[in-house]
Structure 1
Amino acid sequence: MEEHEGGLSAAEAAAALWRRKYWLAVPAVVGTGVAAVVALLMDPIYQSSATILIESQQIPTTLVASPITSYADERIAKIRQQILSRDNLIELINKNKLYPDERGKKQLADIIEMMRSAIQVDLVSANVGSRNAQGGKATIAFTLGYQYSDAAVTQDVTQQLTGMFIDADVRRRTEQASGTASFLSRRADELRERLDKIETQITEVRSRFNGALPDQVLASSQNSASLRSEIARIDIEAQGVVQSNAMLAGQIQERSSERSQSELAQAEANLAKLSAQYADNHPDVRAAQELVMRLREADYVAVAPVRPVMTQQLQAGRSRLALLDRRRSELEAQVARADRLVGLSPQAAYELNNLTREFENLNDQYQKIRDRQMEAQVAANLEAEEKGERFTLVDAPQMPEQPIKPNRPMIVFLGFLGGLGFGVALTLLIELLLKPIHGRAAIVRLTGHTPLGSVPLTRHGLAANDDRSFKTRILQWLPRRAHS
């Protein structure tokens, strides 16, 4: 006969659990007891927390721009990293004598990580419009909590952490505001020095190209033309004086010997001509002057005295020619200078325009930096007077009255469930492995045949035999019954 095997039905499983109810009760009781002992042995963990409000700047930003460009959650994250640094946590641990039991058992790095995980920072957001890119959400407050096994120490450490957060925020904002003002001040000083240097260069260019500057070149050109007109006038006047002297010399010559007077007149005319063309120190002019002097001496000896008036007029004409010659030389020098300045005008304009353009650009930057510096200084003053955005403690840390963990009732309940589950699993496992026969359903499941009848158990009958003997007899009896 082939044995038909299968799983337990729900009714069989329930019956098996009922038959072995003590197998369920004992693990449940043991699990509950163990869980209760564990719950009692676990150290209570208390939590103290503080709520810190992020207050906005008291003065409108339209009047004074805030120097803080980062969002509150970003600042909180940076401050959290600063506060939870290794050095700060070591200082807190030593100051408050935290984790005394763990110090002899664990490494310092593990203890620091324990404390870091015991500190919680939870942000509180609200819809404040389109203040940032997160759908109009902005952080308006945050809660700072600390968990430890001693309630009083928990409160003290939370208070210290709260003070460290607020102080760090004030310090960061003040340093940022004052640092911005200092940076802008240094930048303004640098630009001011460059502006002073360029102003000195502009003054030097104006001095070096005086008369050739763009606003002076027209006057230099007009001055050159005026000087040339003056030279032409002097040439005309000199020509007239030369002619007058020639006439006087002719009249004087009539009273002198014809030969000497003619030579003197020619020499004087030549001298006047050369004087009109060259300076007094010119070799030709000097030679002509010496010739005139010799001829005059000779004429004075040979010629009879002439009229004093004519002699004075002739001498006056000669003096005038000398004066006109000197004046002409001066004017020619002035014309040369004016022409040189006009020629230097493009170079002067180029250098002056470059310096002026650089000065204007730097001056614009300087004015903008100065405006920003003033704003930054006002913002720094706001931070110093605590008028800017700041952290405000609205809910101070309190002494925790009840521990937040362990949850002892839950631990005991879980111990009960664990023990009960172990008993159920053990009972069902035994039923599946040993396959004891209890009732008609078990016979059908094992043999595939329906029994013809059933004999009830009696106190002194089959009850005295074990299940396996009964099963063996049934299996031996059924085939014989089937063949009869």
Structure 2
Amino acid sequence: MNPYPNPGPLASLAQQGEDEGGSSSFLQVLPVILWEKRWWIIAPGVLGLVGGVVAAFTIPTMFESSATVLIESQQLPLDVVNSPVTDVIGQRIARARERVLSRQDLIRLIRTNNLYAEEQRHQALSAIVDKMRDATSVEAIGSDITGAPGGAAGRTIALKIGFSYADPVKAQIVAQQYVNRFLEVDASSQTDQAVGAANFLNQQGSQIQAQISAIESQITKIKSENGPLLALQSQATGNPAADAGRIDAEIIGLQGENARLAAQSGGDGNSAVQAAEMALANARARYSDTHPDVIAAQNQLDAARRSATATSGASSPMINANNAQISSLRAAKAMILSQSGEVRAAQARGPALAAEVDALEKRADSLRDQYRDIGSKAQSAQLSARMQTEQKGERLTLADPPVVPDAPYKPNRPLLIAGGLVGGLGLGAAIVLLLELILRPIRGTEMLREAAGAAPLVIIPDFSRKPNMIIRWLERRNRKRART
């Protein structure tokens, strides 16, 4: 059965246009199709409009309060102090976000602010925590300045922290608590990292210093037990007389250095003490012991004596070391001159001992280099820890605090209503076009010729209906085309 039993004047007009144009076009009959099935389009449009209105006024209203947190660089330039804690800002944000949105913190916020009171009656606490986590947003704001020094373009310069809730006042309160917790967590994390790095480097330096001390003690022990052999190894050339002469010359040089050190420590100190004693005697001859000049002269004498004692104490280790080396050289000279079998056997161990001492000294030098490097890093880490403690390093600061929102951000009622209307009209038009493609009603002489297998004898237009606006427009168009 044909779903269009009475094509009416629109169909007749379409057939007339087809005969005059010579071809059947879907676009020509599209206005006819839409007009004939207008209620198929209007009904879904009305339903979509009603659905959009219902959705716009039944979806829960949500308010969002957000704050902007600025990432400030450290106050001191990088060439003055460069922190060993090279933590990427993205990692810092992710770490702080995980701590702020942890289950314990969210439960504390829910109970403190009495959030999701209705959901707490019939939902599990885990589901409420997940819902609150979904309602929280932490977004990075990048720099859009192109050509900035140091590759600043695209770098994260700020954060946007927001919270969505049905009550605007509670949304603002929770957003502020989020910001406070975020700043606290980031500051404590950076401080802990800087202090931990400084402590670790100090421990590493102490361990290396202990290794250096152990190696130096081992070298000192070897030299003290085998001093003559090592001295003999360094002085022996195969000519005993020449070797003995060189040893004597070195002994004389060390003795001269000892005499110079003794004279320096004793001469300058003694002269200063003598001058202070003379000044004190002159003051006492003129004044009583309680006079300020006598007291000042006594203080100068005490200071001169302390200085002389310190100078003598500083020179004593060097004199002792020279004396030990003189003893080793004398023993080496005796071994060279004796040339006994026992001496030659002991002399044979000299190269091995010298090689062992050389290896230990190289290892100690390598450890000293490491110690200097770690010491420099430890000093930088201590400065960085101090900067973090005094809030002078890279930190987060509140730039725009959260406020109570004055309008909801969800739902967007005009968009829902307009979307429902447009969607309903589109659905109706799609249904009409789908029926047109499936049923394929006869429209025009070409379709009738294809269906009947022969051309129609005559076309009888139907004037039983009053022409409407579309028909009048089509008639005017056909008349214009007929004139041309």
Alignment of 1:241-320 (within 5 A): none
Which letter does structure 1 place at the counterpart of 2:173?
A: D
Equivalent residue for 2:82, pick from 49, 62, 65: 65
Whether contact under 8 Å (1:121, 1:144) holds in the other structure is: yes
Cα distance change of structure 1 residues 43 and 136 upon mapping to structure 2, 3 Å threshold: closer
1:211 alignment partner, SS class: helix
- Return the letter of the residue paired with 1:452: V
SS at match of 1:184: helix
SS in 2 for 1:67: coil
Post-superposition offset of 1:204: 1.2
C-alpha distance in 1 between matches for 2:359 and 2:434: 99
Match of 2:180?
163
The equivalent residue for 2:295 is none
**1:372 equivalent in alignment to 2:377:** yes
Counterpart of 1:26 in structure 2 is: 43
CA distance in structure 1 between the partners assigned to 2:127 and 2:24 by the alignment: 51
Matching residue within 60, 66, 69 for 1:52: 69
**Higher mean C-alpha displacement, 52-61 vs 26-35:** 26-35
- What residue identity is the alignment partner of 1:33? V
The CA distance in 1 between the partners of 2:235 and 2:440, in whole Å, is 127
Indicate yes or no: 2:57 matched with 1:40. Answer: yes
Residue 390 in structure 1 maps to residue 395 in structure 2: yes
Deviations 1:437-463 (A, max 9, x none): 89989867865644635364559xxxx
**Aligned match of 1:141:** 158
Q: Which residue identity is paired with 2:83?
A: S
Aligned residue in 1 for 2:142: 125
Separation (CA, whole Å) in 1 of partners of 2:386 and 2:194? 9
Distance 1:333 1:434, change over 3 A: closer
Equivalent AA in structure 1 for residue 384 of structure 2: A
**Number of residue pairs aligned between Structure 1 and Structure 2:** 348
SS in 1 for 2:381: helix
| Residue matched to 2:482 | none
| Partner residue, 1:352 | 357
Q: Tell me the TM-score normalised to structure 2 length.
A: 0.62
Deviations 1:178-216 (A, max 9, x none): 111000111111112112222221221121012122477
> C-alpha deviations, 1:210-266, integer Å up to 9, x for none?
21224775389669969xxxxxxxxxxxxxxxxxxxxxxxxxxxxxxxxxxxxxxxx
- 1:47–1:154: 8 Å Cα contact kept in structure 2? yes
Question: Which residue among 378, 381, 406 is the counterpart of 1:401?
Answer: 406
1:355/1:437 CA distance change after superposition, 3 Å: closer
Q: Deviation per CA, 1:276-317, whole angstroms, max 9, x where unpaired?
A: xxxxxxxxxxxxxxxxxxxxxxxxxxxxxxxxxxxxxxxxxx
Q: 1:224 to 1:450 in 2, by over 3 A?
A: closer
Partner letter of residue 88 of structure 2? Y
Change (3 A) 1:445 1:119: farther
- Cα 1:85–1:458, aligned 2, differ >3 Å: closer, same or farther? same
- Of the structure 1 ranges 139-148 and 11-20, higher mean CA displacement relative to structure 2 is found in 11-20
Match in the other structure for 1:239: none
What's the TM-score once normalised by structure 1's chain length? Answer: 0.62
The letter of the residue matching 1:355 is L
Percent of aligned pairs with the same residue? 34
Q: 1:200 aligns with which of 207, 217, 220?
A: 217
Residue by residue over 1:137-175, the C-alpha shift from the partner in whole angstroms, topping out at 9 and shown as x without a partner, is 422222222222221222222222222222222122111
- The RMSD of aligned alpha carbons is 3.7
Q: Using the alignment, how far apart are the partners of 2:461 and 2:165 within structure 1?
A: 68
For the pair 1:454 / 2:460, whether they are aligned, the reply is: yes
Segment drifting more, 215-224 vs 78-87: 215-224
Deviations along 1:421-450, one digit per CA (max 9) or x if unpaired, are 343344455666777789989867865644
How far has the Cα of 1:386 moved from its partner?
0.9
- Return 5+ residue gaps in structure 2 as ranges: 1-22, 246-333, 466-484
Residues 79, 169 of structure 1: 8 Å contact kept: yes
Distance of 2:186 and 2:147 partners within structure 1: 22
The one-letter code sitting in structure 2 at the alignment partner of 1:174 is T
Greater shift after overlay, 62-71 or 181-190?
A: 62-71
Distance 1:136 1:18, change over 3 A: closer
The one-letter amino acid paired with 2:373 is: K
The one-letter code of the counterpart of 2:403 is Q
> CA–CA distance in 2 between the matches of 1:390 and 1:75?
11
- Partners of 1:225 and 1:430 lie apart in 2 by 124
What one-letter code is carried by the residue in structure 2 that aligns with 1:370?
A: G
CA distance 1:417–1:60, shift in 2 (3 Å): same
- Shift in alpha-carbon separation, 1:185–1:428, aligned structure 2, 3 A: closer
In the other structure, the counterpart of 1:468 is none
- State the alpha-carbon separation in 2 of the partners of residues 86 and 102 from structure 1: 17
CA distance in 1, matches of 2:220, 2:444: 123
Look up the match of 2:109. Answer: 92
**Cα distance, 1:101 vs. partner?**
3.8
For residues 97 and 199 of structure 1, what CA distance do their matches in structure 2 show? 68
User: How far is the alpha carbon of 1:77 from its aligned partner?
Assistant: 2.7
Residue identity matched to 1:353:
D
2:439 and 2:417 mapped to 1: Cα distance?
Answer: 33
The separation in 2 between residues aligned to 1:128 and 1:68, in whole angstroms, is 27
Deviation at 1:44, TM superposition (A): 1.3
Partner SS for 2:230: coil
- Rg larger in 1 or in 2? 1
Which of 167, 170, 173 matches 1:153?
170
> Contact 1:155–1:400 (CA<8 Å) still a contact in 2?
yes
1:411 equivalent to 2:432? Answer no
Paired residue secondary structure (1:401): coil
Question: Once the 2 structures are TM-superposed, how far is the Cα of residue 409 of structure 1 from its aligned partner?
Answer: 0.8
